[in-house]
Amino acid sequence: MSIRELASRHGVHRRTVRQALVSAEPPPRKVAQREAPVLGPVKPLIDAMLREDLDAPRKQRHTARRIRERLVEEHQVVVAYPTVRDYVRDARPRIAVEAGRQLVEVFVPQTHAPGAEAEVDFADLWIVLAGVKTKVFLFTLRLSYSGRAVHRAYSTASQEAFLDGHRYAFEQLGGIPRVHIRYDKLKAAVSRVLMGRTRVESDRWVTFRSHYGFDVFYCRPGVEGAHEKGGVEGEGGRFRRTHTVPMPKVDSIAELNAYFARCDAKDDHRRVGQRVSTVGDDFAAEAALLRDLPSEAFETGISLRPRVDRHARVTVRQCQYSVPARLVGRQLRVLLRATRVLVFDGPRLVAEHERSTVRGSVSLVLDHYLEVLAYKPGALPGATALVQARKNGVFTATHDHYWTAAKNAYGDKSGTQALVEALLLHRQYPHAQVIAGLQAALSVGALAPEAVAVEVRRAGETTPQLGIVEVDGQIAYPTDTRGVPNVAIYDELLTQGAR
């Protein structure tokens, strides 16, 4: 076929037919070189401004808008903003290369051996805690090979929380990475950042690492080193977007952590990137290669020695916690953990509180002041410990009903003392049993403390018995159906004494 016939059949120009006969690939399209009468004369000026940025602080470099403003103010040249923006976008990397600088950092893909490495980071997280929008801190430990991650929330990013997060993660994973764990300049572990990757570690962090037997890898400070633990950086964002949008609404940090544990189990079925296997499948192969846990867990809390003030309180990190009143003036040992505050008198645990992070807060337990209130009953109505007990649900409406009935029957002083004796029953019996006993005593009108004690014991028995009644101010106890005690065995003591 002739060129004319081919052009006619395919509806193209004869020149196109000749080009196709020469090469199956079309020739490159020529880009028209257009004149830039306004931008052309000022290109050297823009390039000079961009060269100044090479030595300027990162947050004080020229933007396209600022360059256009300088062209108008200093050189009386009006150039459209889109024109300046497009030129700056192309010129900035060219000028950086000409100066021998790499504007965009290139990353090298890495392969991690199973059970060898992990990454750790703290991230900010907002939740609705007991109806109040609150910031907490999300601890994340991620295994580099499988991508299996453990998340736990804390009300503070203190060293106690940092260590407790490690301990919890190691226990959940069932082992410890064999090579190292990557960190940035976390204050909980590092007391001072030196040149490069050199750090001055805190003594307690060194002790913790020695106990669990793992090494560390510190990333470069600042944004430049963030990619060195990019796995956990991305994991923190993914976890927040997936499981905390919208903000979780919880009543306590413990409830939030229980939710996070369910989320971690659910994430075992996801896939990282283009991997064929799931996170759970890869972790199953990796778990056997982790280092075994030590036989004893590390105590992540720190030990303090405060003295009890005259209000039966100890001060820990600018927060006050109550202890039994009999310990006023004593110096006690306090174990400050990430979420709890434990107070010891010698080897005995005498008080336990939820850790507070509000400076100047006061956490009181009504039980710690009962011995004082027994001879100072007038202090009970306005006691701060009573206010907190009502708020926490420890002092219930049943207690209030009994208090009112006892004051009506015996007067304010004796009625309050009767309530204090009833509250002392909580030390021996479960809370629900005491409440049931109080309700039973109220139902039959037996308000004397002795009668309440009998009803509380009766509430814990499985077989029903007759209740207590009060007639003319006298207590009528139920008939005792138990057998007569046998003391014959004690006669042996008399025999041995005679010998």
75 vs 477, residue with greater confidence: 75
- pTM for this predicted structure: 0.71
Q: Is the pLDDT of residue 225 over 50?
A: yes
* Tokens encoding 129: 């805690």
Q: How confident is the model at residue 311 (pLDDT cuts 50, 70, 90)?
A: very high
- Residue 166, helix vs strand vs coil: helix
- Domain extents in the chain: 39-98, 117-287, 302-363, 387-476
Does residue 123 surpass a pLDDT of 90? Answer: no
Give the pLDDT confidence score for residue 83 in this predicted structure.
Answer: 93
Of 133 and 190, the structure prediction assigns the larger pLDDT to: 133
* Between 466 and 14, the higher pLDDT residue: 14
Q: What pLDDT is stored for residue 204 in this prediction? A: 86
- The residues, ordered by sequence, that sit 6+ positions from 197 with a Cβ below 8 Å of its Cβ are 217, 218, 219, 220
Mean pLDDT of the chain: 88
* Residues in Cβ contact with 475 at an 8 Å cutoff, skipping those fewer than 6 apart: 446, 448, 450, 451, 468, 469
pLDDT above 80 (res 170): yes
Q: How confident is the model at residue 463 (pLDDT cuts 50, 70, 90)?
A: very low
pLDDT in tens, 428-458: 999 999 999 999 999 888 899 999 999 999 8
Residue 257 has pLDDT above 90, yes or no: yes
**What is the CATH number that goes with domain 117-287?**
3.30.420.10
Low-confidence winner among 15-24, 35-44, 105-114 (lowest mean pLDDT): 105-114
Please give the share of the chain, as a percent, with pLDDT higher than 70: 90
Is the predicted pLDDT of residue 133 greater than 60, yes or no?
yes
**Closest to 354 measured CA to CA, from 154, 149, 166, 488:** 154
Q: Long-range CB contacts (< 8 A, 24+ apart) of 36-44?
A: 38/77, 38/78, 38/79, 38/83, 39/79, 39/83, 39/84, 39/87, 41/77, 42/71, 42/75, 42/77, 42/79, 43/87, 43/91
User: Residue 278's Cα: distance from chain center in Å?
Assistant: 26
Mean pLDDT, range 310-315, rounded to an integer: 96
**What are the φ and ψ backbone dihedral angles of 331, each rounded to 5 degrees?**
-100, 120
Count other C-beta atoms under 10 Å from residue 213's C-beta.
12
Q: Which range among 248-257, 430-439, 467-476 shows the weakest confidence by mean pLDDT? A: 467-476
Structure tokens at 414: 């004796």
Q: What is the arithmetic mean of pLDDT over 22-33?
A: 84
Is the pLDDT score of 465 beyond 80? no
- Percentage, residues of the chain above pLDDT 90: 64
The pLDDT tens digits of the residues spanning 384-438 come to: 999 999 999 999 999 999 999 999 999 999 999 999 999 999 999 999 999 999 9
Confidence band, pLDDT 50/70/90 cuts, at residue 177:
very high
pLDDT tens profile 193-216: 555 565 677 788 889 989 999 998
Check pLDDT > 90 for residue 154: yes
Give the closest residue to 137 by CA, choosing from 114, 161, 106, 104.
Answer: 161
